Amino acid sequence: MKIDIILTAADIQPEKIKDKIVVIIDVLRATSVMITALANGAKTVYPYKDIESVLENSKKSKSFVLGGERKGLKIEGFDFGNSPLEYTKEAVSGKDMFMTTSNGTRAIENSANGSKKLFIAAFLNVESVAKKILEENDDTVIICSGTDNNFSLDDALCAGEIIRRVKEKDRDIQLTDISLAMKRLAETSLGIEETLKGSKHFEYLKTIGFYGDMNHCFTMDMFDIVPEYKNGVITK
């Protein structure tokens, strides 16, 4: 079994993920939101690349919320933005959630075809994801969604932390050089926030008033669920 990493949503190529176990990460903040909403009782999360698909497909549900962002901010007419703190039990329990974000939902849609299984990860569920990878015991590709087609340090650090934990449990797992590099990054990290200081999306979210999201997104193992995307929908 081998673990590889794809560093941005733009780098997803069909042959790299064909028949592989795929793990998608968008720490800030799409996958953190999905995990939080499902842990708080949302029935489903339907991720789409565009606003039109969200509006069209939500018509099929009787009880739903619309969530997501453009440039980090709530989309006009939607119920919620992309802060995980909005997705409380009161807000989402028993509901279908229809969502679009700039990078995370795009990475999911781009990986939908060809992968064997597709799981959703963030710091919030790293340990459960590491165990799931070992349980599946098959070649795995971790996809860092990145930001606007660029490398994003928050996703890379999270990928490294997952790999660090997998390797800790089974030393024989093979790593590509990118996987090894991210594992070393996680091993030498002085803490998530300290490592991410100065990184682009982390600093941007602070400037638009979302520093409060960081504490939540950077809490490791708050939840023990590993959401799976299958046939267009994510469930836990």
Give me the residues that bind ligand MLT (CB under 6 A), please: 26, 28-30, 69, 72, 82, 101-104, 205
Least distance (Å) between residue 93 CB and ligand MLT: 22
Beta carbon nearer to ligand MLT, 149 or 176:
149
At residue 57's C-alpha, the angle toward residues 141 and 91, to 5°, is 80
Beta carbon nearer to ligand MLT, 30 or 196:
30
34, with CB counted inside 10 A (0-12, 13-18, 19+), is buried
Q: What counts of helices (H) and strands (E) characterise the chain?
A: 11, 11
Least distance (Å) between residue 215 CB and ligand MLT: 15
Q: Give 213's contacts (C-beta < 8 A, 6+ positions apart).
A: 28, 29, 32, 83, 84, 85, 205
Beta carbon nearer to ligand MLT, 72 or 160:
72
Least distance (Å) between residue 72 CB and ligand MLT: 5
CA distance 113 to 135: 22
Beta carbon nearer to ligand MLT, 102 or 140:
102
Task: Answer for the pair 75, 68: CB distance below 8 angstroms, yes or no.
Answer: yes
Least distance (Å) between residue 205 CB and ligand MLT: 6
Least distance (Å) between residue 229 CB and ligand MLT: 15
Beta carbon nearer to ligand MLT, 84 or 166:
84
Chain residue at closest Cβ approach to ligand MLT? 101
Beta carbon nearer to ligand MLT, 103 or 164:
103
Task: Answer for the pair 66, 58: CB distance below 8 angstroms, yes or no.
Answer: yes
Q: Which of 42, 25, 56 is nearest to 90 (CA)?
A: 42
CA distance 11 to 56: 28
Least distance (Å) between residue 33 CB and ligand MLT: 7
